[in-house]
């Protein structure tokens, strides 16, 4: 349930969760953000369930799983899922094919030669097909199309605005504001001097972090050498860039970076692509990397989102066909798992109609 959007979404630290009563007398939770004037800025409603009915061992979930397991139909589903993304992009003036072609026709291949670490081992789950790509994230096609796909996702999540830029103001603005609010409240006045973006893909979220925290040193790390090659290529060619971000080809489960070397560990739209065991390993690694009082933040699909719970059968079937670990992600109690790993001050809320942002603190 969207109410209104402030100009540039200039929010302050007034996120809260409240219960509302609907005409059917059922209580529902909503996330509320307020403007600096105290006015209601945005309201994102949770559904009535803990997670969608199309997840887990429900009859609907088993039926969808059987459809996906039928290979000829699975191939059609993959194509359909891809067409949904491209269709959304084209309807919103996102030049998907031109953006991909610009990357594929560039000198980006040299960046892979520079940045790829041959000692990196790929977990078995990472070798699965993802997002309708048979080679998953280990291909130039996936890397070349990643930014356009991200733009399409953002516009699909925020359909009530006129442009992708406005959609990013909501989606990215609320996510960054949640991080800043949490850090100001719980870090003990620690400045954010070092940031790592784990699972940075082609660097979209990394660039937003660098812009939000301009004095921080920012690192983007991803398991795909193709993705970080694109990230590094685009960073080198970005106009007005004062200091380039450090890009690393590495595994988020074992980064091999020094302990207690970051003030903020951020993970964006990664966990829904991972099995539960990988999520737990990444959480442990994030805690190791953080300095005491540092902030951990993850933003991803919310199982409690009313919109996600009410997706049409066609859309959730297409989504599950390209996300092999979606069930594990939605069935996992992420808040509790983060606490079990050792984080404190764990908070989670919707920061747009489809996604949640979870923030936590490394103990002092």
Provide the H-helix boundaries in 220-348: 225-236, 276-289, 306-309, 313-322, 326-331, 334-341
Two tokens, residue 56: 């887990």
Number of H-type helices and E-type strands within the chain: 13, 10
85-131 pLDDT per residue, tens: 788 788 889 999 999 999 999 999 999 999 999 999 999 999 988 88
Q: Of all helices (H) and strands (E), which one includes residue 103?
A: helix 96-104
Residue 141 has a CB neighbour count (10 Å cut-off) of: 14
**84 vs 77, 138, 165, CA distance in Å?**
10, 22, 20
Give dist(CA 205, CA 203) in Å, integer: 6
User: What is the four-CA torsion angle of 16, 19, 20, 23, rounded to 10 degrees?
Assistant: 150
Mean pLDDT, consecutive 10-residue stretches, the chain (364 aa), reads: 35 44 42 43 80 86 82 79 81 93 97 97 92 91 96 92 94 97 95 98 97 96 98 84 83 98 98 97 98 98 95 82 91 97 97 97 97
User: What region, left, alpha or beta, does residue 96 occupy, with left being phi > 0 and alpha being psi -120 to 50 degrees?
Assistant: alpha
- What does the pLDDT read at residue 30? 53
The one-character DSSP state at 9 is: G
Angle, CA of 238, 88 and 143, to the nearest 5°? 40
Residue among 179, 164, 182, 243 at smallest CA distance from 207: 243
- What does the pLDDT read at residue 233? 96
Give dist(CA 267, CA 357) in Å, integer: 10
Give dist(CA 153, CA 204) in Å, integer: 13
């Amino acid at each position: 349930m969207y109410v209104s959007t402030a100009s540039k979404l200039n929010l302050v630290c007034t996120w809260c969760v409240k219960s509302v009563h609907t005409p059917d007398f059922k209580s529902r939770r909503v996330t509320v953000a307020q403007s600096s004037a105290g006015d209601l800025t945005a309201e994102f409603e949770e559904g009535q369930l803990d997670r969608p009915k199309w997840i887990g061992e429900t009859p609907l979930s088993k039926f969808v799983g059987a459809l996906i397991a039928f290979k000829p139909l699975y191939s059609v589903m993959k194509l359909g899922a891809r067409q949904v993304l491209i269709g959304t992009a084209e309807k919103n003036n996102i030049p998907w094919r031109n953006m991909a072609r610009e990357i594929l026709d560039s000198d980006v291949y040299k960046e892979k030669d520079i940045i790829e670490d041959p000692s990196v081992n790929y977990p078995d789950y990472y070798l699965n097909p993802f997002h309708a790509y048979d080679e998953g994230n280990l291909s130039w096609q996936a890397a070349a199309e990643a930014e356009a796909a991200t733009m399409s996702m953002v516009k699909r999540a925020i359909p009530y605005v006129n442009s992708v830029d406005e959609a990013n103001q909501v989606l990215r603005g609320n996510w960054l504001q949640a991080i800043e609010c949490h850090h100001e409240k719980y870090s003990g006045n620690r400045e954010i001097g070092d940031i790592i973006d784990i699972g940075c893909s082609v660097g979209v979220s990394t660039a937003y972090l660098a812009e939000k925290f301009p004095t921080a040193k920012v690192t983007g790390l991803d398991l795909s050498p193709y993705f970080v090659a694109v990230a590094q290529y685009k960073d080198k060619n970005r106009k007005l860039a004062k200091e380039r971000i450090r890009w690393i080809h590495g595994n988020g489960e074992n980064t091999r970076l020094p302990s207690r070397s970051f003030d903020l560990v951020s993970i964006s739209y990664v966990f829904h692509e991972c099995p539960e065991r990988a999520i737990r390993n990444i959480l442990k690694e994030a805690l190791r990397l953080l300095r005491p009082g540092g902030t951990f933040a993850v933003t991803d699909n919310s199982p409690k989102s009313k919109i996600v719970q009410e997706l049409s059968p066609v859309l959730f079937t297409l989504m599950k066909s390209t996300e092999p670990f979606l069930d594990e992600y939605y069935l996992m109690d992420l808040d509790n798992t983060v606490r079990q790993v050792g984080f404190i001050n764990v908070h989670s809320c919707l920061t747009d109609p489809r996604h949640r942002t979870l923030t936590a603190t490394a103990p002092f």
